Amino acid sequence: MSRSQRFIVSPGGQLQGRLRVPGDKSISHRSIILGSIAEGRTQISGFLEGEDTLATLAAFQAMGVQIERPGSAQVTLQGVGLHGLQKPEKPLDLGNSGTSIRLLSGLLSAQAFDVTLLGDESLSKRPMKRVTDPLSLMGANIEATEKGTPPLKMTGGQALQGIDYSMPMASAQVKSCVLLAGLYASGSTCVTEPAPTRDHSERMLQGFGYPVQRDTQGQSTKICLSGGGRLQGMNIDVPADLSSATFFMVGAAIASGSDVTLEHVGVNPTRAGILRLLWDMGANILLSNTRTVGGEPVADIKIKASPLHGIKIPQAQVPLAIDEFPALFIAAACAEGETILTGAEELRVKESDRIQVMADGLQAIGIEVKVMPDGIVIQGGQIRGGQVNSHGDHRIAMAFAMAGLCAQEPIEILDCANVATSFPNFVELAQNAGLQLSVST
């Protein structure tokens, strides 16, 4: 795909209809990882066929796992058990996927073979000390660059020991990395998170029949498992991705006359911070048909346009909405008054520095912002239009596309090719719903 892909959004319009966004990215990654090391067959429906998740899939194929794709969004894999992975012939290239490299570093630090994990230019700048430090404490032999970035080189045949690890910052990727290494470690491995983070790994491990203990006291939760167990293959129905749904929730909330229903969306409470924040801003959002599918809560989400007002975002909510902030910033730009975000340093080390890149883009389309080291203040106002650089960050490109619904003039968004990493059919779905979006390369 061309790196020079641009989105051009004509001003106005509204969003209408019943939409099904692609499968949840976090759950799609984990279904491949755990299905590969389970015993027996795992069948996955609703799988997100984005570049990030396909990078995870390709990595396990390179390690000898038989994976078939019988139809759209369907994957069948034959698990090889905890000790059945084979040495890949060359380094595993994980593209743009931070989830892939961090989770696989935990799993692969415990294998009998040497392996190297690398990625694209963006991934090669992302911090990995947060996973290499705890893995080293467990006895892994893992090397990053001098800056603590990929490639990651792991020496096989290390005997891992369980640890009791208190995470310095709340991160589902770090938690999952340590727990995956813990499957192979002697004794018990525990991770204490200072604030709630998404719990898909724990839920799915239990779905595969692997015991996980959780003990919550106040904001912090301690998650423990013992090494040496077995996972049993299962069927997984991946819910639609709440992060992808967020762009349409924000678009419908800000565009007068909009009325959208998003079907079969995962509403796991450790992910649903964005719903609470939009409700706090005055969004008209209703959940219906709430049910549990494969251990994950799912609902249909109906959104109608309504006037929004700025809020001060509670710091405890930040980890529960970390991926949704680019879209929320667009809601803040269209809201009355100011929205204040603090305690979100993590946004600076995503696919881009999301605080700075969003701030630059908002200013380019006429919105007043103030940038802080750990956050941003956005003054709601009138979106004019103009040119925005997404810096190859898929979530920023999609967020500014929705801003066109409230703009006075066209918005041109540069460097949009990476939208395919998480939302391959975004353009088509957005156009069908009513967004006046065109693509040029």
CB environment 302-321: b (16+ within 10 A), e (fewer): bbebbebebbebeeebbbbb
Contact 434, 33 (CB under 8 A): no
DSSP 24: P
Residue 247 has φ and ψ, to the nearest 5°, of -60, -40
Instruction: Give CA–CA dist 348/14, Å, rounded.
Output: 32
Instruction: Give CA–CA dist 12/2, Å, rounded.
Output: 28
Q: Which of 52, 241, 323, 415 is catalytic?
A: 323
* 120 assigned to active site: no
Instruction: Give CA–CA dist 346/330, Å, rounded.
Output: 19
Residue 281 has φ and ψ, to the nearest 5°, of -80, -5
CB atoms within 10 A of CB 430: 25
Close Cβ partners of 412 (under 8 Å, ≥ 6 residues apart): 6, 7, 8, 9, 386, 387, 388
What tokens appear for 5 in the block?
């892909």
Q: Is 105 helix (H, G, I), strand (E, B) or coil?
A: helix
What tokens appear for 287 in the block?
């959940």
Residue 122 has φ and ψ, to the nearest 5°, of -65, -50
Instruction: Give CA–CA dist 319/385, Å, rounded.
Output: 31
Residues identified as active-site:
323
